[in-house]
Structure 1
Amino acid sequence: MAARAHHQTIDNPYHPVARRITDVVRRRAATTKIILIDDLQNIAQAARSGVLIDSLYTTEGRDPAAIDEAVPELHEVQIHTLSSAVTRKIFGDEKRSRIFALAQSPAPGELSDFSDGSGDVIVLDGVRLVGNIGAIIRTSAGLNAAAVILLDSGLRTVFDRRLIRASRGLVFTLPTVIAPRRDVIDYLHGQQIPVATLAAECAEPIEVLQRVKERMAIVLGSERRGVSTDISRIADYRCSIAMSDDIESLNVSVSAGIALHERTHSRCS
């Protein structure tokens, strides 16, 4: 493998390269064509998922050869080194990674993208903490869910820099869709997908999910508000997770993992 060409460190925040990164960091539109991906693991996951990596950036003291060794498929991607001062100027109070990339944003997903799949669909109804959403995407990918649908998440795009980090790049692998609540209700009805909701006050035990042989939608709300009334009305199963009386609720990402694990039994029986 040929060595990378020598390049100087960019130490001017008004350099065209630095200004381009700044524009991406400050842009929050859902239709952005260029996205920022932090950390080598997430960049590698994006590349393996077919995302076109535009350019790579490191801070001072990082050896570009180490990137080639860790992710050989990125050898042809141009690398720029940024001074610490330029990095601080670009990111301000936001997280500053020692390695990051700019990439072409994939096309946003649609509900129809997973109509022919066989896995379950996780619907997050009003879940807004990006860390929880990312953890659920990771769990859903690991337990063979078909997709994650976000309702009222506060996100404009699933390729939000924070969500890419929280999901460890798996948002590029597992179909994740932002959709209006009414569209999701119509979709689930049209596809004849049974719906299960989870809430502490529900009567049916979570084990009931083991008995459903076809694919289903598992809906989880936020810990504070729970599942919306509109979604509750269409639920075929209303389940709760048995837990200590001293605990009011579980974190939503933990609940998602338990529900998906229960569903593994339906595929094995």
Structure 2
Amino acid sequence: MTELETIVNISDPAVQRIIDVTKHSRSSIRTTLIEDVEPLMQCIRTGVDFIEIYSSDTSPIPDELLELCRRQKIAVRLIDSSIVNQLFKAERKAKTFGIARVPRPARFSDIAKDGGDVVVLDGVKIVGNIGAIVRTSLALGASGIILVDSDLTSIADRRLLRASRGYVFSLPIVLSSREEAIAFMRDRGMPLMVFDAEGELEVNDLGANEDQLALVFGSEKGGPSDLFSEASSASVSIPMISSTESLNVSVSVGIALHARIRRNFAANR
């Protein structure tokens, strides 16, 4: 087993770097904290640029992660557990975590590189739902996600990194206004399909459509905005037992993308 250096002095520059990254008041997010082994490994494989990776001296780092860091020439050190407790205080204490440089923000042109459907989240603000949708979209062949009115200022938000299990850097995610998103779709000739409980189409009707589609989902309470509804080519419903008021938005996205799986998998080959 590799003998790792342990940080035992709170004045070590790495400790200050971690404190700076965890400040909630940062106006410019250039570096971010990525927590837990699985998200760290996913981000490393995606090519995220890490400054250093740390673990509490009471929590052994898995050999698989150590080997991945060695291959990518990422520095790894332990931190005395008493310092870790001071760093995170009342927050959830990560046992293994890393400081990484935030990749440049995704652009519409990044989404346009692939032919899979585009998921548009209109007013979806619950970060846990967005994180689940990121994983589902990647798994089922979407080419990217557009976030509108999400209240996020960066996809490097620690809550989103946790909720997505580190997959947030694995496909393009664009923060956009409604007007910008609609202009992009029109330029691409991409039909907008707005999901609504009273939609004229059912979700299974989308399976035979060979076009690249923009699948628009509103919040569970508010539904899609008027601007997207007016710009849409059609509205789509997901059939369900009438006593059920609505589906969780992440579940709705999964159902819609699964209906499109044949077309999107073909587009990604």
Same fold (TM over 0.5): yes
CA positional deviation for 1:268: 8.4
Number of the residue aligned with 1:233: 230
What is the rounded CA distance, in whole Å, between the counterparts of 2:59 and 2:176 in structure 1? 40
What is the rounded CA distance, in whole Å, between the counterparts of 2:78 and 2:66 in structure 1? 17
Conserved in 1, the CA contact under 8 Å of 2:121 and 2:216? yes
Gaps of 5+ in 2: none
Deviation string 1:121-153 (CA, Å, 9 cap, x unpaired) is: 000001011110010010000001000110011
Gaps of 5+ in 1: none
Number of the residue aligned with 1:34: 31
Show the 5 A alignment for 1:1-269: 4-10=2-8, 12=10, 14-27=11-24, 29=26, 31-64=28-61, 66=62, 68-75=63-70, 76-266=73-263
More divergent stretch after superposition (227-236 vs 112-121):
112-121
CA positional deviation for 1:214: 1.1
How much is the aligned-residue C-alpha RMSD, in angstroms? 2.0
More divergent stretch after superposition (164-173 vs 28-37):
28-37
Deviation string 1:231-259 (CA, Å, 9 cap, x unpaired) is: 11111120111111110000000000000
Deviation string 1:78-120 (CA, Å, 9 cap, x unpaired) is: 2232233322322233322100000111100011212232100
Conserved in 2, the CA contact under 8 Å of 1:213 and 1:267? no
What is the rounded CA distance, in whole Å, between the counterparts of 1:53 and 1:170 in structure 2? 15
What is the rounded CA distance, in whole Å, between the counterparts of 1:6 and 1:172 in structure 2? 28
Size of the alignment, in residue pairs? 264
Deviation string 1:147-175 (CA, Å, 9 cap, x unpaired) is: 01100111110111111121121111111
What is the rounded CA distance, in whole Å, between the counterparts of 2:241 and 2:41 in structure 1? 41
- Secondary structure of the residue aligned to 1:26 is coil
Shift in CA distance, 28/151, structure 1 to aligned 2, threshold 3 Å: farther
Conserved in 1, the CA contact under 8 Å of 2:144 and 2:172? yes
What is the rounded CA distance, in whole Å, between the counterparts of 1:120 and 1:176 in structure 2? 13
Deviation string 1:36-73 (CA, Å, 9 cap, x unpaired) is: 11111111111111111110111131234x3x434512
TM-score computed with the length of structure 1 as normaliser: 0.91
TM-score computed with the length of structure 2 as normaliser: 0.91
Q: 1:235 corresponds to which letter in structure 2? A: S
- Secondary structure of the residue aligned to 2:84 is helix
Identity %: 36
Conserved in 2, the CA contact under 8 Å of 1:10 and 1:80? no
Shift in CA distance, 208/28, structure 1 to aligned 2, threshold 3 Å: farther
CA positional deviation for 1:5: 4.7
What is the rounded CA distance, in whole Å, between the counterparts of 2:84 and 2:259 in structure 1? 45
Shift in CA distance, 58/207, structure 1 to aligned 2, threshold 3 Å: same
CA positional deviation for 1:265: 4.4
